[in-house]
Amino acid sequence: MTLQQLQPQVDETKRRKAEAALRQVESLMQEIRRREESLHPSGPGQEQRVWTGIVRYVNADLSIDAKAYPNLLTVLYELTPGPELTEFRLSELGKNDDFFYLSELSGARKRDLISLASHYQKALKNLLLWLCQPKSHPEIRLEALKFLEVNAHGEDWRIDYNEDPIASLGDFDEDKGPFLYFVKEVRFASIMTPVCKFIFKYVDDPPKRLPIRICKRPGCDKLMLPERIGRKEYCSPKCCALDHRPAHKENKDYMWLYRLNKIKSGGTLRRRLKGDPDAMKRLRQIETRWKDEPKFTEKTKEIRARVRI
């Protein structure tokens, strides 16, 4: 067999080996991803709880809804790793050198929780409103982005050199890890730091749409968290009913046609329309205004058929 005859066989062998190697790499990558998921679960339950708490907080009327405050505090606990080692700065209330732990907000510093919740509610809602509808709200873009950037950057941490968790283990086998190697103390510039870090990470890497939506009814602007994207359009049955209620002009036009159709005599109806130029003008206006609405087009056609105009 000549060299030229052997070449196709060699190429085919190389191709098969390359494909086998690729399959092996893919298999290994899947195994790595599986192990990562088991060690570091993505936590869809936590995400859902956080978004639910955020929505309830920003939608609440803080003057009457006392549940909004524990909702906010729950969100902060969800987003703060090691709450007992994490301090929050109270610069918003003119106390730049004052720090607190989350546990204090449900105890001795309840008033601070109320003040902070009121202070940040509008800014956080504007951020979410812009992220959900950036095209509809260009006027709040810069304000929203600055709020996100400043607070997402508001984390400072250091290792506590005086705490040695390894020493506290006593006699142990170094081959059996993992260990807590050091104690990390964290300071957040505000209570919005963990919230904005969470939002920033969600929308930035990779960029994706928020799971929350804005109520469809004009003027409502309440946030909602649909179970299935695209299914829920209104924050409440009341908003849905208000949005589907006929407008004043629509209702007047429909009732005018309805009363015309109630005239049993075709002759009377004909005289009513032909003898009144304003009535004919209004009929034409209604036909133009509601040309895509079957409930109007059907009635106008019926009227014209009866009077033959």
Average pLDDT across each block of 10 residues of the chain; the chain has 309 residues. List them in order: 53 61 46 41 74 94 89 93 88 78 88 92 96 92 96 90 82 73 88 96 86 82 75 71 66 86 85 85 88 85 83
pLDDT of residue 170: 75
In this structure, the number of other CB atoms found within 10 A of the CB of residue 105 comes to 24
pLDDT of residue 29: 40
In this structure, the number of other CB atoms found within 10 A of the CB of residue 234 comes to 19
pLDDT of residue 18: 53
User: So where are the chain's domains?
Assistant: 44-211, 248-307
pLDDT of residue 264: 84
pLDDT of residue 37: 41
pLDDT of residue 38: 41
